[in-house]
């Protein structure tokens, strides 16, 4: 069979989809180009002049890919897991996740957050990054910044803003490992650095093929982060960070952070639990919301 993978058309999305395709071909001893890429232009790619939270949130990155998959035009979709809503359409399932890349953010435009000039302008459309930066440097001015990696790098180089933050894994996958300074002090977005592959739940053949390239520790870690965010019930307006790591003993260690929009209030906590125990991260989310200020709780549905 010829497997068709749906993907967005950005350079990063194509690099990630090609990585998944190559892994499938090598693992199954298929000839080159046995896995075909089908480029789907999403609403998120078309709408570049407004923050995602104003025009539909993360679904703008997945809606058209979901439609193609459910219609049988593709066998699977390749996603950056940080861009995938924690609640997915009925009939679709994440069947595999590849080995996770560097989960950190990188700072472009300065050697550290502390080194940014007083009142520096930082471009980001991520509420999480904005809140985390303001928690450390309330003097910073945050402005919206959209576009693919090269577009955002160009805007910093052109002086539209003093600095920006980009995911280290994305820079690495584009051959830009030398760009930016890794930030260990910022907890990443849930799913950051992970590539997921989604297929129709009833498509047993594709699920079996994809399961063979699945990386179980990545799957367990990202599943925990997504269970945490699903329970929070937030939107793209909600600053939330989470990172799960599977220890050598097989248990999951989840660290999480929720913040007010200006970073002035935050709750940080952690939990240890067995893999695929969705109730433990859910309980952590409920406990954190229970201790949160009104400025945080109002950002999460049902809080």
Nearest to 225 by CA among 187, 254, 198: 254
Q: How confident is the model at residue 139 (pLDDT cuts 50, 70, 90)?
A: very high
95 touches 197 (CB < 8 A): yes
29 or 236, higher pLDDT: 29
* Residue 285 reports pLDDT greater than 50: yes
Q: What is the mean pLDDT of residues 97-111?
A: 97
Q: Within this chain, do residues 244 and 203 fall inside the same structural domain, yes or no?
A: no
171-195 pLDDT, tens digit each = 999 999 999 999 999 999 999 999 9
Per-residue pLDDT, 303: 42
CA 87 distance to own-chain centroid: 14
Q: How confident is the model at residue 59 (pLDDT cuts 50, 70, 90)?
A: low
Q: Within this chain, do residues 175 and 201 fall inside the same structural domain, yes or no?
A: no
Instruction: State the CATH number of the domain containing residue 277.
Output: 3.30.160.40
Nearest to 109 by CA among 127, 125, 121, 101: 121
Per-residue pLDDT, 121: 97
Q: Within this chain, do residues 35 and 158 fall inside the same structural domain, yes or no?
A: no
* Residue 18 reports pLDDT greater than 80: yes
Per-residue pLDDT, 301: 63
User: pLDDT over 70 for what percent of the chain?
Assistant: 92
Query: Is residue 188 in some structural domain?
Result: no
* Residue 134 reports pLDDT greater than 80: yes
264 touches 133 (CB < 8 A): no
Q: What is the mean pLDDT of residues 259-271?
A: 97
Q: Within this chain, do residues 63 and 198 fall inside the same structural domain, yes or no?
A: yes
Q: Within this chain, do residues 54 and 121 fall inside the same structural domain, yes or no?
A: no
Tokens coding 278: 């969705």
* Residue 24 reports pLDDT greater than 70: yes
Q: Within this chain, do residues 285 and 252 fall inside the same structural domain, yes or no?
A: yes
Q: How confident is the model at residue 251 (pLDDT cuts 50, 70, 90)?
A: very high
Q: Within this chain, do residues 203 and 64 fall inside the same structural domain, yes or no?
A: yes
Q: What is the mean pLDDT of residues 204-223?
A: 96
235 or 144, higher pLDDT: 144
User: pLDDT over 90 for what percent of the chain?
Assistant: 83
Number of domains in the chain: 3
At which residue do the structure tokens 């400025």 appear? 295
Q: Within this chain, do residues 85 and 210 fall inside the same structural domain, yes or no?
A: yes
Query: Is residue 130 in some structural domain?
Result: yes
Per-residue pLDDT, 227: 96
- Whole domain around residue 44: which residue ranges? 1-98+194-214
Per-residue pLDDT, 147: 86
Per-residue pLDDT, 57: 52
Per-residue pLDDT, 277: 94
* Residue 287 reports pLDDT greater than 80: yes
Provide the terminal-to-terminal Cα distance of the chain, rounded to the nearest Å: 48
Residue 36: beta bridge partners? 4
106-119 pLDDT, tens digit each = 999 999 999 999 99
289 touches 229 (CB < 8 A): no
Tokens coding 225: 């982060």
Q: Using CB atoms within 10 Å of the CB of residue 58, give its burial: 0 to 12 exposed, 13 to 18 middle, 19+ buried.
A: middle
Angle (CA) 106 112 115, round 5°: 145
At which residue do the structure tokens 């009142």 appear? 119
Using CA atoms, how far apart are residues 100 and 280, in angstroms rounded to an integer? 22
- Report the mean per-residue pLDDT for the chain: 92
Q: What is the mean pLDDT of residues 55-67?
A: 74
Per-residue pLDDT, 211: 95
53 or 128, higher pLDDT: 128
Active site residues: 83
């Amino acid at each position: 069979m010829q497997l068709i993978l749906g993907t967005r058309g950005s350079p990063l999305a194509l690099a990630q989809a090609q990585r998944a395709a190559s892994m499938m071909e090598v693992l199954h001893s298929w000839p080159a180009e046995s896995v075909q890429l089908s480029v789907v232009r999403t609403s998120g790619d078309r709408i570049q002049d407004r923050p995602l939270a104003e025009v539909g949130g993360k679904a703008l990155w997945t809606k058209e890919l979901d439609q193609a998959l459910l219609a049988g035009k593709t066998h699977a979709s390749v996603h950056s897991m940080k861009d995938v809503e924690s609640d997915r359409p009925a009939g679709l399932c994440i069947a595999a996740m590849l080995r996770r890349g560097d989960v950190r953010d990188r700072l472009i435009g300065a050697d550290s957050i502390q080194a940014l000039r007083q009142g520096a302008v930082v471009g980001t459309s991520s509420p999480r990054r904005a809140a985390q930066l303001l928690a450390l440097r309330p003097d910073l001015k945050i402005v919206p910044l959209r576009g693919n990696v090269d577009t955002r790098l160009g805007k910093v180089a052109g002086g539209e803003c003093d600095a920006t933050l980009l995911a280290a894994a994305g820079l690495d996958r584009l051959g830009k490992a030398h760009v930016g300074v890794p930030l260990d002090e910022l907890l990443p977005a849930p799913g950051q650095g992970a590539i997921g592959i989604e297929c129709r739940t009833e498509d047993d053949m594709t699920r079996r093929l994809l399961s063979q390239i699945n990386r179980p520790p990545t799957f367990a870690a990202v599943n925990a982060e997504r269970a945490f965010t699903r329970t929070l019930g937030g939107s793209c307006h909600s600053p939330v960070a989470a990172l799960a790591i599977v220890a050598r003993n097989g248990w999951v260690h989840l660290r999480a952070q929720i913040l007010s929009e200006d970073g002035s209030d935050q709750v940080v906590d952690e939990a240890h639990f067995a893999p695929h125990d969705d109730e433990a991260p859910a309980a952590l989310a409920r406990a954190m919301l229970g201790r949160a200020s009104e400025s945080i709780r109002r950002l999460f549905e049902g809080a």
